[in-house]
């Protein structure tokens, strides 16, 4: 195929534009077009090779398949604005007075009434666009050999090594016990625990702590004990709603002032065992 390389300059409204045609590809403000029609809004693309994600963020391309990419050089759909630079990827959709049958099935509009909402046409009427994402629902328990999981004296300790029962959104890491919030909102968290038997005396206490982003304690549930000469399990539970921002991490911690040493949690790996099923965690996105 004969290679065509033509450079044209002109004046439009007091400014200059550059058009480059290379192998039937047209470049505006670039001599290195990456698609059938490629406009480099920032005039920052390299003269050879592919632009970086930051350089492509201000570009628009039209491909030979009839697809348009805004901020991306490889559109995957008819109009693709998913730039790797996420600072300006929103799409503005305005109002219309067109009836739904005139706009046609699949049309979208913004309706400012009643606080504003997005709507789509089903070809007959404008329907409200309602999003119902899969909510995070984590259920896990601690399955470990008896005396294998210990909490040091007066040290806030993150509980890890969980066995996952449910996590449809894959936001919980059982090995570390860390949950990452998929969205900003309130999460209802339930955490139960039980230590092995130990003599109980006045002043002993344990705490379930909810720790966000590795260091911030947002909730404490304290279990204290009165004077007794009997041995008993030190157990407790904590149920609370926790406000998390998207990307925040959460981990349940335990703090014990019961035994001046490492106190073991009551665990086992066999469901039939009397030590099984006492340490549990659930996280439900509201």
Give 57-69 pLDDT, tens digit per residue.
999 999 999 999 9
Strands 178-180 and 172-173: antiparallel
What's the pLDDT score for residue 23? 60
What's the pLDDT score for residue 7? 43
The answer to whether the CB of 151 falls within 8 A of the CB of 254 is: yes
Give the pLDDT confidence of 3-20 residue by residue, as tens digits. 334 444 444 444 445 555
Class of domain 137-285: mainly beta
What's the pLDDT score for residue 228? 63
Tokens of 231: 């041995």
Any idea where the domains of the chain sit in the sequence? 5-84, 93-130, 137-285
Our measurement of the distance from residue 138's CA atom to the centroid of its chain's CA atoms, rounded to an integer in Å, reads 15
Residue 229 predicted with pLDDT over 70: no
What's the pLDDT score for residue 11? 41
Give the pLDDT confidence of 151-184 residue by residue, as tens digits. 999 999 999 999 999 999 999 999 999 999 999 9
Our measurement of the distance from residue 182's CA atom to the centroid of its chain's CA atoms, rounded to an integer in Å, reads 3
Query: From start to end of 42-88, where are the E strands?
Result: 59-62, 68-70, 79-80
What's the pLDDT score for residue 176? 98
Query: Percentage of residues in the chain with pLDDT exceeding 70?
Result: 90
Average pLDDT of the segment spanning 268-276: 93
- Its pTM stands at 0.62
Q: What does pLDDT average to over the chain?
A: 89
What's the pLDDT score for residue 203? 76
Count Cα atoms within 13 angstroms, Cβ side, for 217.
12
Cβ-Cβ contacts under 8 Å for 248 (sequence gap 6 or more): 180, 181, 212, 213
DSSP conformation letters of 44-83: ---SSSPPPHHHHTTEEEE-TTS-EEES-SS-SSSEE---
φ/ψ of 84, rounded to 5, equals: -65, -25
Average pLDDT of the segment spanning 122-127: 96
Task: Give 180's DSSP letter.
Answer: E
Give the pLDDT confidence of 33-54 residue by residue, as tens digits. 999 999 999 999 999 999 999 9
Average pLDDT of the segment spanning 91-115: 94
Our measurement of the distance from residue 121's CA atom to the centroid of its chain's CA atoms, rounded to an integer in Å, reads 30
Query: Which of 86, 28, 38 lies closest to 61, judged by CA?
Result: 38
Query: Which of 250, 43, 41, 29 lies closest to 159, judged by CA?
Result: 250
Give the pLDDT confidence of 190-226 residue by residue, as tens digits. 999 999 988 877 778 999 999 999 999 999 999 887 7
């Amino acid at each position: 195929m004969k290679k065509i390389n033509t450079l044209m300059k002109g004046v439009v409204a007091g400014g200059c534009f550059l058009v480059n045609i290379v192998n039937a590809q047209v470049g505006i403000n670039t001599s290195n077009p990456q698609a059938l029609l490629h406009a480099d809004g920032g005039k920052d693309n390299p003269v050879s090779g592919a632009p970086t994600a930051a350089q492509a963020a201000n570009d628009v391309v039209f491909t030979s398949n009839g697809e348009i990419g805004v901020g991306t050089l490889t559109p995957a759909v008819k109009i693709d604005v998913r730039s790797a630079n996420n600072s300006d990827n929103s799409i503005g959709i305005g109002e219309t007075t067109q009836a739904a049958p005139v706009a046609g099935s699949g049309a979208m509009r913004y309706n400012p009434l009643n606080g504003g909402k997005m709507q789509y046409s089903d070809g007959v009427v404008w329907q409200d666009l309602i999003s119902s994402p899969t909510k995070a629902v984590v259920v896990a328990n601690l399955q470990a050999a008896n005396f294998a999981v210990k909490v040091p004296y007066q040290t806030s300790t993150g509980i890890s090594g969980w066995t996952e029962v449910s996590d449809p959104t894959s936001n919980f890491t059982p090995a570390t016990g860390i949950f990452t919030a998929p969205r900003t909102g309130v999460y209802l968290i339930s955490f139960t625990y039980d230590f092995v038997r130990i003599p109980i005396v006045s002043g002993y206490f344990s705490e379930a702590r909810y720790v966000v982003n590795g260091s911030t304690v947002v909730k404490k549930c304290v279990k204290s004990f009165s004077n007794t000469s009997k041995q008993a399990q030190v157990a407790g539970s904590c149920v609370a709603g926790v406000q998390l921002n998207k990307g925040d991490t959460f981990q349940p911690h335990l703090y014990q002032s019961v035994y001046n040493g490492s106190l073991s949690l009551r665990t086992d790996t066999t469901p039939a065992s009397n030590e099984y099923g006492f340490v549990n965690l659930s996280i439900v996105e509201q």
